[in-house]
């Protein structure tokens, strides 16, 4: 899921048409579930949806940036995003979905990842989420609003390679708790991303997390 790659292992363009690509995706998912890889998710030219019952993050900051990538036809795209960054995060009952349209002979194909259920949340370190749209109930501890992005020291800092104005508007907090999370994003990256109880499914048609 990423237009702007910030380092870590790339997971480019969920290729759901070719069986070998699906197999490779499954292997990467298993490695992530075992905490073996840094994570960098993106879908070039496509946004994806994420839901969670709860996200508890420490060392939070948020700033504006531009994600750039390519459509499935190879055309360049640019998307304004609000980057939510956490030094560490715990995510309960996470669902992530992306729909690839116009697959030959199949039509739309949906890929869904679920993890963090059964009392064992997803764990992430140095997590960046490039958000286009978000709805949630949020509680912030010791929040600072209106700092310059370069001065948001409570979070992990501006991600390397981000197209962000270091003097632009940002906010930060020691802790952020979000419940009933529904968001549309263009990219997610993390230094480490451990997905407990990972389940991946492919299905015909449009089947999204919300």
Blockwise average pLDDT, block size 10, the chain, 210 residues: 39 36 46 52 75 98 89 81 97 94 88 94 95 96 96 95 93 97 93 91 94
pLDDT at 33: 53
In a domain, 210, yes or no: no
In a domain, 4, yes or no: no
SS percent in the chain: helix, strand, coil, step 5: 10, 60, 35
Instruction: Provide the domain count of the chain.
Output: 1
pLDDT at 69: 76
Give Cα separations from 190 to 12, 117, 124, 126, 200 (angstroms).
15, 20, 6, 5, 19
pLDDT at 29: 53
User: Which domain, by its residues, includes 106?
Assistant: 10-158+168-204
In a domain, 140, yes or no: yes
pLDDT at 22: 41
For the chain, how long is the longest CA-to-CA vector? 53
In a domain, 190, yes or no: yes
d(C-alpha 183, C-alpha 163), whole Å: 21
In a domain, 22, yes or no: yes
pLDDT at 19: 37
* Tokens 């963090």 -> residue: 116
Q: Which two tokens stand for residue 109?
A: 């194909």
In a domain, 54, yes or no: yes
Q: Which of 141, 123, 120 is nearest to 59 (CA)?
A: 141
Number of Cα atoms under 13 Å in the Cβ half of residue 48: 25
In a domain, 2, yes or no: no
In a domain, 183, yes or no: yes
Q: Which of 186, 165, 162 is nearest to 77 (CA)?
A: 186
């Amino acid at each position: 899921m990423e237009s702007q790659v910030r380092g870590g292992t790339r997971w480019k363009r969920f290729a759901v048409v070719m069986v070998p690509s699906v197999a490779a995706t499954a292997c990467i998912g298993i490695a992530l579930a075992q905490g073996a890889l840094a994570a960098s998710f993106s879908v070039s030219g496509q946004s994806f949806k994420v839901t969670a019952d709860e996200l508890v993050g420490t060392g939070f900051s948020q700033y504006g940036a531009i994600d750039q990538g390519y459509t499935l036809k190879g055309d360049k795209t640019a998307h304004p995003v609000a980057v939510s960054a956490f030094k560490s995060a715990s995510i309960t009952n996470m669902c992530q979905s992306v729909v690839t349209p116009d697959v030959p002979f199949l039509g739309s194909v949906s890929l869904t990842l679920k993890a963090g259920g059964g009392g064992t949340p997803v764990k992430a370190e140095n997590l960046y989420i490039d958000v286009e749209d978000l709805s949630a109930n949020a509680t912030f501890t010791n929040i600072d609003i209106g700092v310059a992005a370069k001065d948001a020291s409570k979070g992990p800092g501006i991600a390397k390679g981000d197209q962000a104005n270091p003097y632009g508007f940002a906010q930060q907090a020691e802790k952020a708790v979000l419940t009933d999370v529904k968001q549309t994003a263009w990219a997610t990256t993390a230094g480490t991303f451990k997905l407990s109880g990972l389940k991946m499914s492919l299905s015909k048609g449009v089947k999204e997390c919300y």
